[in-house]
Chain A
Amino acid sequence: MESRSCHIAAEVKNFDAEANFSPTALSLMDRFAQFAVHAARSALQDSGLIWSEEASLRTGVSIGSGYGGAESYDASYRALFANKASRVHPLTIPRLMHHSGAGHITMDLHLKGPSLSISTACASSTHAIGEAFRTIQADAADVMFAGGADAPITFGVLKCWEGLRVLASAGKSPAEACRPFSLDREGMVIGEGSAVLVLEEYEHARSRGARIYGEVAGYGASSDAAHITQPTVDGPARAMSQALKEARVSPDQVDYINAHGTGTKLNDVAETKAIHEVFGAGAAALSISSTKSMHGHLMGASGAVELLITLLGMQNRVVPPTANYHGPDPECDLDYTPNQARQRTIRVALSNSFAFGGSNAVLAVKSL
Chain B
Amino acid sequence: MLLAEVEEKVIAAIRKNKKDAPVPIEVDTTFEQLKMASLDVICTVFELEETFNIAIPDDAAMNMRSVRDVVNGVALLVGVPGTDTSVESSN
Q: Give me 6 other A-B pairs in contact (C-beta within 8 A), A23-B19, A89-B43, A91-B43 excluded.
A: A24-B19, A87-B46, A87-B50, A90-B43, A90-B45, A91-B39
Q: Using an 8 Å CB-CB cutoff, how does the interface string of A1-45 with B read, 1 for contact, 0 for none?
A: 000000000000000000000011001000000000000000000
**A interface vs B, CB < 8 Å?**
23-24, 27, 86-87, 89-91, 94
Let me know if B27 is at the binding interface, CB within 8 A.
Answer: no
Distance, CA A91 to CA B47, complexed state (A): 12
Let me know if B20 is at the binding interface, CB within 8 A.
Answer: yes
* Interface of A, helix, strand, loop or mixed by DSSP: loop
Which chain B positions have C-beta within 8 A of A91? 39, 43
Contact A90 B46 (CB under 8 A): yes
A80 to chain B, nearest CB (A): 14
Let me know if B42 is at the binding interface, CB within 8 A.
Answer: yes
B44 to chain A, nearest CB (A): 9
Let me know if B5 is at the binding interface, CB within 8 A.
Answer: no
Docked complex: B2-22 residues within 8 A CB-CB of A: 19-20
In this complex, what residue of B is CB-closest to A89?
Answer: B46
Which chain B positions have C-beta within 8 A of A89? 43, 46
A sample of 12 cross-chain residue pairs with beta-carbon separation below 8 angstroms, ordered by A number, consists of A24-B19, A27-B43, A86-B55, A87-B46, A87-B49, A87-B50, A89-B43, A89-B46, A90-B42, A90-B43, A90-B46, A91-B39
Shortest 7 CB-CB distances between A and B: which pairs? A90-B42, A90-B46, A90-B43, A24-B19, A89-B46, A87-B49, A23-B19
Q: Using an 8 Å CB-CB cutoff, how does the interface string of B29-63 with A read, 1 for contact, 0 for none?
A: 00000000001001101100110000100000000
A197 to chain B, nearest CB (A): 32
The residue that A24 contacts in the complex, of B20, B45, B46, with Cβ under 8 A, is B20
Which chain A positions have C-beta within 8 A of B39? 90-91, 94
Which chain B positions have C-beta within 8 A of A90? 39, 42-43, 45-46
Which chain A positions have C-beta within 8 A of B49? 87
In this complex, what residue of A is CB-closest to B43?
Answer: A90
B11 to chain A, nearest CB (A): 19
In this complex, what residue of A is CB-closest to B45?
Answer: A90
B80 to chain A, nearest CB (A): 22
Distance, CA A64 to CA B20, complexed state (A): 33
Which chain A positions have C-beta within 8 A of B19? 23-24
Which chain A positions have C-beta within 8 A of B43? 27, 89-91
Which chain B positions have C-beta within 8 A of A86? 55
Distance, CA A94 to CA B43, complexed state (A): 12
Distance, CA A23 to CA B19, complexed state (A): 9
Distance, CA A86 to CA B46, complexed state (A): 11
In this complex, what residue of A is CB-closest to B20?
Answer: A24
